Structure 1
């Protein structure tokens, strides 16, 4: 019975509206020939809406779907003739959100090459390892990263923004035939604890993955969408895929800056924003605009929503937050709607269409509602494994997320923390995220992280790191007393640090290894 639901959802979101028979035929033929790769999605959009603005780049301005496809095809021909890129090669992309990143990804797919999306926050040493482990044939990079790539192997062709434009403009004539293999996208894991791993993204086999998202998140054809989440991250890349499928106009900025984001949302009349949770926190720290932006959807993912953030944001910008919980490996697991978040601000929601979710004990058996266990997920977009050849643990067609969580009696999912984050303090299981969410509700606290640290007496204990709002004060004893009032004794952080800000990577996740460690007692 999936087909009627898929058709009904596509119709409800405006994707089955009548159009020119020739353009509709060309659209469907593009998907038949190029499937649902990033190149196929762009081709179908250009076939159906060639003159619609595809991208608005803060530096380059507007570009239509037809123009974007033409530039990507020109770049592909030059990469083949001038750089020697062939099907099966890997092209690294070290770029912020702008046209060049999108054109490179599409061009690689047109050649049957793989795009390796590189985190802009990686160090020179990490970039060197990534280039070696991913066997990069070329690296397209923004000019600002030139000094960071000096250690790359000589075999890696370096292509900066200036040369990228030359390759587009100097493309030889000719046609691009369908490659012998589909180009894939390889997303790197966050690398907060070491060298990032390459995860091979699966190409959708039809409309069901799109329907899984837009059934729960009410995005429509021809939306005005700002993608603030980094496109090199799974969430930003998913936003690009969804936007192309919807034939949306996409607004891009190289860096997230709250005031500039609000201006762009208003100027371009954006109805949807894709972001990571820390961006919502930053938006709340600047004065709200006199007139609320026309946002209907603020879709967030990439890290947990801090306690209380969702209702605070919705009090200012309306009930617009849709929180997707997932990972690079499992894509999505659940989606929380504004109604879910009003009811339970820390919930991850429920599984969308086509997704199975289970909370299992160590023996692989389901646990009852309310009991914490390991989160396993099954859907059509589970990743195809790491480029190293390794995979993730699976059970009965479901893949481990690496997180612990529980379901409430109504089926809402709550993520209690990473499996490797849970600590045992004096024989008690303690979840740092539980204390983190509690402290985030203090009005003085701007952002907070809680982690486990070694303890000679109890094995492990909690340490809390708090960044306060300007002109606010707290003292360690007040923090401990607050936790003691609402939680068990073993949840009270013995170590409380006040820091100016939390160290975060480019996707907004806290880099815990960069937090100061307490002295052993």
Structure 2
């Protein structure tokens, strides 16, 4: 692999994902787009393979606006299929492979997927779910050997179609990707991202002079993609490198041993990790042996980084750190705390998540939607072209999240200082973030409440040194019954993903409620957050 240039690539404007890849394939066809294991995919191969996939999807009856789905760990071929769908105006819906069967069934039925692509190891899950997904006509296995007899092998299927570009992609405002977020009422919602929203503020969509240093694409640079593609962090990273015409090393999932090996063997200059992953890498026995001199930036999100962890990471990795704040509904990052604000001595600014990216508006509002002055806590609202189009088939949820003027309510409580830095104080919603995964109490409570011995339950987030927050269940047992922590956790696992299950259970005589019967979660949480300067971790 050639040396990385230190000069920024010239600014090129692209209106769609497809246009960016098509241009890079024409201008630099042999440049590496993705590497997965021993397989290198060039931009020419990505373009041609996605053409074949697009023509194959057309043959299966997939039309513009239809949803297709992928359930599996990260693989370079996911991006080929995603691009193929976009080339005919279809929409990719990656499904969280950590979900339980009932949750997978819900997502596949809700998005009305006609075709499902499945990765290695998930055939048993899909076969359990398939009978309950009547619209699903075709299942295609990507690098999987354990599929059912009627499954199609992806490579054989793809290679049976011509590599001619169908030229039927959607426009800037058309749907491109649908990512599911946990729901406050127990069911996830499909956030619709358009070409415009996912391109906004990404390399090759914004002029170089408007970018921050860590955003500027450098020809030949390589990014490590280790976060899951069912998150905006994983899919967004791959989209970002495709836009910029740079390369990405794809790991099936975050593995510190593999990550260190990739850093040794490739000129990796950028990595996105959650703080827990940074900590895991620092604790790896081989971390002291690895040369990190080619690493330029570590970007991180989902939770702030503790000062002691940041000091240790800065000392070992010797690169710039960028904290990112955003969400699926904003197509990812909208606010960043840049390297110059990460100082080993610590500073008040390090408690913030930084300042809005160019083109992103942020305001703090009260319960009636009025803007409040600096340092007054309220709900964080944002407006930009990065905002989602809305929630799939949920107009009421959409209008309650995005107002008529385009302001999106984030559900986070915070304030801004006089310099425009944003500080997260709490959550307006009850969401828990554990190891970078969003968990809504309602989902877990519904699962636990279905246990015949449970009379009442409330789920809260409590501080956790490794994962930021951990899920705790406060359970009221029915009179005359007995129940153990292990039984509650085991029952939860039958209904929701493992990361949503409680890590601990408190058995209490009754849940605290207000006069209208609403559970007082803050009262349950208070003892665990005592002495901390904010109610999120």
TM-score range, shorter chain: 0.7 to 0.9
Cα pair 2:198 2:386 within 8 Å, conserved: no
Task: Tell me how large the CA RMSD over aligned residues is.
Answer: 3.2
Would the alpha carbon gap of residues 69 and 512 (structure 1) be closer, same or farther in structure 2, given more than 3 Å must change?
Answer: closer
> Is 1:362 the counterpart of 2:354 in the alignment?
no
Could you tell which deviates more after superposition, 232-241 or 208-217? Answer: 208-217
Match of 1:374 among 364, 375, 379: 379
Q: CA deviation at 1:408?
A: 3.1
Cα pair 1:91 1:116 within 8 Å, conserved: yes
Cα distance between partner residues in 2 of 1:85 and 1:230: 26
Could you tell which deviates more after superposition, 407-416 or 226-235? Answer: 407-416
Q: CA deviation at 1:376?
A: 0.5
Would the alpha carbon gap of residues 257 and 183 (structure 1) be closer, same or farther in structure 2, given more than 3 Å must change?
Answer: same
Match of 1:353 among 346, 353, 358: 358
Cα distance between partner residues in 2 of 1:165 and 1:412: 48
TM-score scaled by structure 1?
0.74
> Is 1:394 the counterpart of 2:384 in the alignment?
no
Cα pair 1:217 1:297 within 8 Å, conserved: yes
Q: Which has the higher contact order (CA 8 A, sep 6+)?
A: 2
Cα distance between partner residues in 1 of 2:361 and 2:268: 32
Count matched residues.
Answer: 428
- Structure 2: where are the runs of 5+ without partners? 1-5, 144-152, 433-459, 477-484, 486-492, 510-537
Cα distance between partner residues in 2 of 1:174 and 1:52: 20
SS of the aligned residue for 1:75 comes to helix
Q: CA deviation at 1:40?
A: 2.2
- Structure 1: where are the runs of 5+ without partners? 1-11, 18-26, 424-431, 457-496, 498-504
Residue 414 of structure 1 is matched in structure 2 by: 423
Residue 466 of structure 1 is matched in structure 2 by: none
Q: CA deviation at 1:346?
A: 3.4
Cα pair 1:306 1:346 within 8 Å, conserved: no
Cα pair 1:108 1:183 within 8 Å, conserved: no
Cα pair 2:323 2:338 within 8 Å, conserved: yes
Q: CA deviation at 1:517?
A: 2.3
In the TM superposition, 1:43-442 aligns within 5 A as 43-58=22-37, 60-81=38-59, 83-150=60-127, 151-152=129-130, 153-156=133-136, 157-161=138-142, 163-172=153-162, 176-179=166-169, 182=174, 184-190=176-182, 194-204=186-196, 209-210=201-202, 211=206, 214-215=211-212, 217-222=214-219, 223-287=221-285, 288-293=287-292, 294-301=294-301, 303-308=302-307, 309-331=309-331, 332-342=333-343, 343=347, 344-390=349-395, 391=398, 392-394=401-403, 396-421=405-430, 436=463
Cα pair 1:378 1:399 within 8 Å, conserved: yes
Q: CA deviation at 1:386?
A: 0.6
TM-score scaled by structure 2?
0.72
Cα pair 1:114 1:185 within 8 Å, conserved: yes
Cα distance between partner residues in 1 of 2:246 and 2:164: 29
Q: CA deviation at 1:113?
A: 1.0
Cα distance between partner residues in 2 of 1:316 and 1:255: 23
